[in-house]
Amino acid sequence: MAIDLRFRQSKPSTKAAKPRNPVEAPFEMANLYPRHTGLPVTVWVSPRGRARHAARVKVCRRPGDRMDPTDLVSVSIRPTPRAIDGDLPPEVMQAVSAWIACNEEALMNYWDGAIDTIELATRLRRP
């Protein structure tokens, strides 16, 4: 049985490409692992960039040193931490809320672009 290895010309896609939100690009986010935050999960933080939403962090639902972009929950920083687009187990949400409250000033300075990732890392504390 012979296999046809010639390339076939594909039809152009009729689907419109979704515009990419630069704030959501993973390379613009800093991974913060449990060993540094004291949380049971990994957290992503980012500067505002061109975001039109309020300051938030992204929290992986899976425990440990992993960040699965398909399994995240956004958590607001102000006025009080709350899950925006999903749910976290109550004990994880409580830990994340305490961590955000303890680090609100540093997280907001990073969001606003007043400090860089290195300075953020030096200012973060465990609750």
Instruction: Give the per-residue pLDDT at 68.
Output: 86
Is the pLDDT assigned to residue 5 strictly greater than 50? no
What residue segments make up the domains of the chain, in order of their start?
24-119
Instruction: Give the per-residue pLDDT at 1.
Output: 53
Is the pLDDT assigned to residue 102 strictly greater than 90? yes
Q: Is residue 100 a contact partner of residue 88, using CB atoms and an 8 Å limit?
A: no
Instruction: Write phi, then psi, for 34 (nearest 5 degrees).
Output: -55, -35
> Please, what is the average pLDDT of the chain?
84
pLDDT in tens, 75-91: 999 999 999 999 999 99
Is the pLDDT assigned to residue 18 strictly greater than 80? no
Q: Which residue has the higher pLDDT, 58 or 9?
A: 58
pLDDT in tens, 58-69: 999 999 998 888
What predicted TM-score, i.e. pTM, was given to this entire model? 0.76
Torsion of CA 36, 64, 127, 44, to 10 degrees: 70
Instruction: Provide the token pair at 57.
Output: 């962090």
Is the pLDDT assigned to residue 127 strictly greater than 50? yes
The pLDDT of 47-67, averaged and rounded, is: 90
